[in-house]
Amino acid sequence: MAAKSKSAAKSNAGSKAKSKAKVPALGAAPDVDRAVNAWFVYLMTERQLAAHTVEAYRRDLGQFLRFLAGHFDCQPDLKLLLSLSARDVRAFLAMRRAKDVGSRSLARTISALRMFYRFLERRGLGKNDAIRAVSLPKLPHSVPKPLTAAKATALVDGADIAAPDAPEWILARDTAVLTLLYGSGLRISEALSLRLKEAPIEGRDMLRVTGKGGKTRVVPVLPVTRQAIERYLKLCPAKLGPDDPLFIGARGKQLSPRIIQLRIARARAALGLPDTATPHALRHSFATHLLGAGADLRAIQELLGHASLSTTQGYTEVDRAHLLKTYEAAHPRA
């Protein structure tokens, strides 16, 4: 009986330790912990945000709650969260800024906090307008940085330059991925999440892509892209099933974006391309070259899967800059 009691006590102690260990992860009281977990479920199920976006919000909220724990010397509970002033929030942002956190990251943090407080309000847990009183930091104006058609083509065809000793099937794989990014404007995550049954082969000239927030769109596939994918599949040593990843690594698992990023970095150095030559630059190049050839902005928005036309309109500035440069170089009175 004594042994049983001792075992039970040990089990209880372990449960308490687990319970305590859960709180410092976010530095919050149990009621906040429950609200945060409910918010994450909401983001993933109802909002259908991408996993990496939810993880970024988790980090942002965790940093905020840990700051409050130190700032007020207690575990922040809902009562504390609902009584915060704009000054408290600005103190948190000042702390983050002192750690050299950039404006974009701070803006995302504020957005995450605003979303969380709106969630609390909608769930009837309370309201606090302090977050809304804090302005977003000014972001530096930036436009997409595409490559010229010649440089984009050189990058796509540069797999053998980047890794001359790699097996032929790997060179074919990397060429197929890059051709898909530039030829159809895919994000690298979209290309690498494709399954074999979705591959644009056997005469298929369209591809259904699942993008941010689980939204699907249909994009055209060029013959050169289809040929590159067919060549890769012909050389691939693994026997892939319909539900297996289309693009695999040397160990047979789904190809990591890091592999393509490293391959591009090596090709970039060998070809003398700028640091802006990245996988995402091929997507930018796809959109900019279509726009320059007279494609409709709404059509480009649809192809890229942008939720807002204002995002796509950034490419008009790139195209305008190119036109001005051409004008200044060609006009006799420039």
- Token pair listed for 255: 């190809």
Active site residue 173: no
- Of the candidates 66, 195, 212, 322, the residue annotated as catalytic is 212
**Cα 169 from Cα 175, distance rounded (Å):** 10
Strand partners, 284: none
187 assigned to active site: yes
Q: Which of 292, 312, 293, 294 is nearest to 303 (CA)?
A: 312
Token pair 């429950």: residue: 34
Q: Of residues 114, 195, 280, 322, which has the active-site annotation? A: 280
**Which one of the listed residues 57, 182, 232, 315 is annotated catalytic?**
315
Q: 315 an active-site residue? A: yes
Examine the residue annotation and report whether 52 is marked as an active-site residue of this protein.
Answer: no
Q: Smallest Cα–Cα separation from 76: which of 110, 122, 8, 27?
A: 27
Q: Are 180 and 224 in contact (CB under 8 A)?
A: no
Give dist(CA 39, CA 42) in Å, integer: 5
CA distance 82 to 173: 53
Q: Active-site residue among 306, 322, 331, 333? A: 306
Three-class SS state of 115: helix
In sign, the C-alpha dihedral spanning 148, 154, 156, 161 is negative
Number of CB atoms found within 10 A of residue 202's CB: 7
Give the Cα separation of 258 and 256 in Å (integer).
Answer: 5
What's the gap between Cα 17 and its chain centre? 35
The two tokens of residue 22 are 């859960």
Tokens (6 digits) for 217: 């769109």
> Residue 283 catalytic?
yes
Assess whether 123 carries a catalytic annotation: no
Distance, in Å, from the CA atom of 236 to the CA atom of 196, rounded to the nearest integer, reads: 12
Q: Which of 187, 263, 268, 284 is catalytic?
A: 187
DSSP helix, strand, coil percent of the chain (3-state; round to 5): 60, 5, 35
* Cβ count within 10 A of residue 162: 20
**Distances from the Cα of 36 to the Cαs of 26, 85, 117, 223, in angstroms?**
9, 20, 10, 48
- From 226, 283, 284, 289, the catalytic residue: 283
Known catalytic residues? 187, 212, 280, 283, 306, 315
